[in-house]
Structure 1
Amino acid sequence: MKFIRNTFKFVFLVANLVVGIGFLICAYSPMLSPVQHPVLACAGLFIPIFIVLNICFIVFWAFVKWRVMIVPVSFFLLGWNSLMSYSPINSSAESTGGETLEVLTYNVMQMLDIKAEDRKSDKSIVDYIKESGADIVCLQEYPYNNSELKNSLTKVYPYMRACRFNSSNAVACFSKYPVRFIEELKIKSNFNGSAVFSVKYKDNNIPVIVNHLESNKLGAHDKEVYTDMLKSPDEKKVKSGSKYLLKKLADAMAIRGPQADVISGYIEKEYSPYMIVCGDFNDTPVSYVHDKISEKLQDAYIEAGNGPGITYNSSFLYFRIDHIMVGDAYKVLECRVDDSIDASDHYPLRCRLELKK
């Protein structure tokens, strides 16, 4: 009986070591260039799976042999930065009485206003933006040719500039304060892009970089493959489906890597403590793209958010791929994902910033 018990514990210990090593591979994957290591660089996508499994091992060892809890806890400590990037824990930030700005970033999916039976809100995207109260609104997948939409939004946001990447797709910056278009960053993409705007806020010029980086290009067929794997997970289907989807993810990540390098280079060259960088990065907070772009900046959600903060929500895919990053002139008072509106495949991300005195 003792032999069986000890064997049982040994098997679970080995399993815990495998899970822990998997977690560390995910946690340190942002250090890898997605151009040179496209598949391994995708590992960060899977970190929530290893976090949940490692937590299960902590609970298991707490009841079976509490001293062994040091194993899963040690893995978390070794990958602490990535753990807190994925699911930060923050208390409420105290305001020092300085001036505040609220920033909203939202991939509006061409303002199509998805209609579905399970929607929580009937509020349209336009109504949501107009009632948001944000000072600066940054939009991705903005329908450039929709003049009616522009006229509606400029009733609340009188200053607006947009940058078009193809016949209809654009990023836009709406503001309560004067805004100028500065330039489009030369990133390699047929559909997406990055644009620099400047918002004049009192005596400060605020550089705002709005990004919509390369999509993972998961079409209806790809999402069907993924959902089919979840609903009927037989070995052959999972193996072939995983290989197919991983290649698509790796190919897209290899494109986003150089895009992030261009954006990071611009930030390095033109850095301002008032800088705001935001948008749909199509990459999670545990990725090369996120870490490269945020080298000189604060990630607002990591500084003031709590939990995973899912912004992309479609076809059983749940990730935080929308980000707001800011310079040293700001204290991040609050950052949250607003899931009160589900008219796009993204939720808006908003943050409240205080200018340091």
Structure 2
Amino acid sequence: MERESLISRIVFFCNKVLALLTFLAYILPFLAPKLFPFLSVLTLLLPLFLLLNAAFFIVWALQLKRKMLLSGIVLLLGITFISKLYRFNETTLELEPDDFIVMSYNVRLFNKYEWLPNKKVPSDISDVIQDYNPDILCLQEYTPDEDVRLRNYPYKNVQLEGNKNKYGQAIFSKFEIINTGKITFPNSSNNIIFADILKKNDTIRVYSMHLQSIKISTDIHEKLNESKSKFIFKRISEAFKQQQQQSELIKTHYDSCSYAKIICGDMNNSAFSYVYRNIKGEMKDAFQEAGSGFGKSYNFKYYPARIDYVFVEKSFLVKEFITDNQVKLSDHFPVITRLKMIDKTQK
């Protein structure tokens, strides 16, 4: 009996430590990463914290112990975070003539350096794009490739860097593009590009973002020793500080734009981060509006990493959202959303 009591005390101690870390992770999205760069890494672990709290709650509840209240309160206070982690009901609204589709996809240079043992990746990605047939297509880690077929897009904004090997971002559109631009990040090869797109009588500003990468291997079986773990945490911390600056640059830029805005792309950070909160602002997260499941957009084994987003202003109705995790042609999965401009008289 004493042994069980000791085990129970040890387990509850772990529960209390987890609760403390979870509360801390709840606070961090409201604090700039440059203030606590090392602690900001906890936001990446928040999905795991929430799942473990749910497990503790169930264990204590099955034993009819009041200890369940600790994790219960933690989960209750984090209800808004849970909605960012998992969505139970997918929304698909009726198709209407004015609907249009936006697709965002980090294509990883179309497998230029053969990370995948598939020499048809450029052609296969072209087939995926043709199947979804988006009206507006945003590609991160884009590079010109003769096997990529994008003939249905008469308008584009392609911004490339490099001499021999060119890479960058691209926005393709079936609608007329009347203006284009780029936001350059200090001390980084990442950036944001944008296009002002004319759809009937409306002008839409579309941003494609690719924020600083934290460069974590998708293979979690890689052996980590103490020094390597410290190096990874330091690298993540530095990347988060850069992302903070980058998020502030895009926020300043889009605040000065009066057009209806869509921001999509690879943010390289979770929905529980300061960077997410800063960029999203009052906009709607298309996944939260109409997606389902975890919305996992990065192919990280055994962990639901959602780092690719589509944010839209309230002038858009999100009618459908898909993360196609069956398309394994990059280290990211494509995200697709169907939108409709809301009649100003109906707001």
- TM-score when normalising by structure 2: 0.88
Partner residue, 1:344: 330
Cα distance change of structure 1 residues 66 and 122 upon mapping to structure 2, 3 Å threshold: farther
Q: Which runs of structure 2 are paired with 1:67-86 in the superposition (5 Å)?
A: 67-86=66-85
Q: Which runs of 5+ in 1 are unaligned?
A: 230-236
* Distance in 2 of aligned mates of 1:124 and 1:102: 20
- How far did 1:27 drift? 2.5
Number of aligned residue pairs: give it. 339
Partner residue, 2:172: 174
* Distance in 2 of aligned mates of 1:112 and 1:314: 17
* Distance in 1 of aligned mates of 2:194 and 2:19: 41
| 1:226–1:241 contact (8 Å) kept in structure 2 | no
* Distance in 2 of aligned mates of 1:316 and 1:87: 15
Partner residue, 2:132: 132
Partner residue, 1:111: 110
Counterpart residue identity of residue 64, structure 2: K
Counterpart residue identity of residue 45, structure 2: F
Which stretch of the first structure deviates more once superposed, 248-257 or 54-63?
54-63
Partner residue, 2:223: 228
Which stretch of the first structure deviates more once superposed, 11-20 or 260-269?
11-20
Partner residue, 2:183: 185
* Distance in 1 of aligned mates of 2:109 and 2:132: 19
* Distance in 1 of aligned mates of 2:51 and 2:42: 15
Partner residue, 1:263: 250
Indicate yes or no: 2:217 matched with 1:213. no
Which stretch of the first structure deviates more once superposed, 333-342 or 199-208?
333-342
Partner residue, 1:234: none
* Distance in 2 of aligned mates of 1:112 and 1:39: 33
Counterpart residue identity of residue 61, structure 1: W
Counterpart residue identity of residue 320, structure 2: E
Cα distance change of structure 1 residues 225 and 247 upon mapping to structure 2, 3 Å threshold: farther
- TM-score when normalising by structure 1: 0.86
Partner residue, 1:52: 51
Question: Kindly, what percent of the aligned residue pairs are identical?
Answer: 27
Cα distance change of structure 1 residues 42 and 124 upon mapping to structure 2, 3 Å threshold: same
SS of the counterpart of 2:222? helix
| 2:122–2:147 contact (8 Å) kept in structure 1 | no
Q: Which one has the bigger helix percentage?
A: 1
Partner residue, 1:233: none
Partner residue, 1:249: 236
Counterpart residue identity of residue 256, structure 2: K
Cα distance change of structure 1 residues 173 and 180 upon mapping to structure 2, 3 Å threshold: farther
* Distance in 1 of aligned mates of 2:202 and 2:89: 29
Which stretch of the first structure deviates more once superposed, 14-23 or 58-67?
58-67
| 1:32–1:40 contact (8 Å) kept in structure 2 | no
Deviations 1:89-121 (A, max 9, x none): 3452544957211110000111127575799x9
Q: Which runs of 5+ in 2 are unaligned?
A: none
- How far did 1:353 drift? 1.3
- How far did 1:141 drift? 0.8
Cα distance change of structure 1 residues 306 and 223 upon mapping to structure 2, 3 Å threshold: closer
Partner residue, 2:316: 330
* Distance in 2 of aligned mates of 1:249 and 1:33: 14
| 1:42–1:287 contact (8 Å) kept in structure 2 | no
Deviations 1:298-317 (A, max 9, x none): 11112222222111115777
* Distance in 1 of aligned mates of 2:264 and 2:72: 33
Cα distance change of structure 1 residues 335 and 56 upon mapping to structure 2, 3 Å threshold: same
* Distance in 1 of aligned mates of 2:117 and 2:71: 42
* Distance in 1 of aligned mates of 2:92 and 2:332: 26
SS of the counterpart of 1:270? coil
Partner residue, 2:306: 320
- How far did 1:354 drift? 2.3
